[in-house]
């Protein structure tokens, strides 16, 4: 909230979901209608949870993030972790106390959650990781900055994080008082759907802000042969503190091969 939450739109199929406790549950997804004139949140409708798996020859010595579906973050212990292998970016990151995780390969959704909670008790502070095929950082960030759902708070400027060069900009989500939310899908009222970001998730899933009118920071980093797109989101009053905490995590990023 973005993620927001994960919604499966206009599809009817049976998904096998593995709960956080590892109990298989069969769920039949029902076709949904995308709200008109509203951009997306990753809906909080439960979606398939896939435990990350490493491919031969790509296993590191660090911990793996547990699988965790949208949208209540799963608490993790402090430690050094690999980014999920399905992101296809061989990075490790050090995470301190107090963080949670959403890690859902089926939706291409991976984020670290801070301690803030929205009105549905889902995260309100998120650090989202996306793997982007494009290599032109300006071309990645410009459509997001031009999103009609956002008000830019800065120009796109150069940045360096953990030795990786990149670009970033800040924005705030515009008010959306007409949207009443969807408690069944864990989507709070007043959120903004973000189609310019939604393209980096699995087709059929929707992405939104996690709260109404949050502040956001988007960062695109050149990481080896890949581009890592990051989104930091928080309610405005907490943004600077949370962005600082997120930066401490990002400064530990390191390629392990």
The pLDDT, as a whole number, for residue 135 is 80
Helix, strand, coil percent values for the chain (each to nearest 5): 15, 35, 50
According to the model, what pLDDT value does residue 228 have?
98
Specify the range with the lowest mean pLDDT, choosing from 38-52, 65-79, 90-104, 187-201.
38-52
The pLDDT tens digits of the residues spanning 22-48 come to 333 333 333 433 443 334 444 444 444
| CB-based burial label for 222 (10 Å; 0-12, 13-18, 19+) | middle
Q: How far apart are the first and last CA of the chain?
A: 31
pLDDT value at 99 more than 90: yes
Given a contact cutoff of 8 angstroms between Cβ atoms, the answer to whether 16 and 24 are in contact is yes
Q: For 123-131, what is the mean pLDDT?
A: 97
Q: How far is CA 94 from the centre of its chain?
A: 18
The model's confidence at residue 10, banded by pLDDT at 50, 70 and 90, is very low
Tens of pLDDT, residue by residue over 76-92, are 999 999 999 999 999 99
Domains of the chain from N-terminus onward: 50-186+211-255 (3.40.1000.10)
- Per-residue pLDDT, averaged over 230-249, amounts to 98
Q: What confidence tens digit (pLDDT) does each residue in 221-232 have? A: 999 889 999 999
Q: How many whole angstroms from its chain centre is CA 132?
A: 13
Helix ranges restricted to H, the chain: 137-145, 195-198, 239-250
| Two structure tokens written together for 22 | 């590892």
What are the C-alpha distances in Å from 197 to residues 61, 68, 93, 231, 237? 32, 21, 23, 9, 24
| pLDDT of 183 | 86
Residue-level pLDDT at 225: 86
């Amino acid at each position: 909230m973005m993620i927001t939450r994960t919604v499966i739109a206009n599809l009817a199929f049976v998904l096998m979901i593995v709960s956080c406790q590892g109990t298989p549950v069969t769920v039949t997804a029902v076709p949904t209608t995308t709200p008109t004139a509203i951009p997306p949140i990753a809906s909080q409708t439960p979606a398939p949870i896939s435990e990350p798996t490493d491919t031969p020859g790509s296993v590191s010595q660090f911990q793996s993030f547990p699988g965790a579906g949208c949208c209540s973050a799963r608490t993790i212990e402090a430690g050094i972790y690999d980014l999920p292998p399905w992101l296809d970016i061989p990075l490790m990151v050090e995470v301190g106390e107090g963080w949670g995780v959403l890690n859902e390969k089926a939706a291409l959704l991976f984020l670290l959650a801070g301690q803030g909670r929205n009105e549905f008790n889902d995260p309100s502070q998120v650090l989202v990781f996306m793997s982007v095929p494009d290599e032109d950082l300006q071309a990645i960030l410009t459509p997001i900055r031009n999103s009609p759902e956002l008000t830019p708070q800065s120009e796109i400027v150069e940045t360096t994080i953990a030795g990786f060069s990149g670009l970033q900009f800040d924005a705030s989500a515009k008010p959306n008082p007409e949207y009443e939310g969807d408690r069944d899908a864990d989507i709070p009222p007043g959120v903004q759907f973000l189609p310019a970001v939604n393209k980096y998730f699995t087709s059929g899933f929707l992405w939104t802000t996690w709260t109404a009118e949050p502040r956001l920071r988007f960062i695109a980093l050149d990481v080896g042969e890949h581009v890592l797109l990051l989104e930091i989101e928080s309610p405005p009053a907490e943004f600077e503190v949370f962005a600082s905490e997120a930066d401490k995590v990002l400064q530990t990023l390191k390629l392990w091969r």
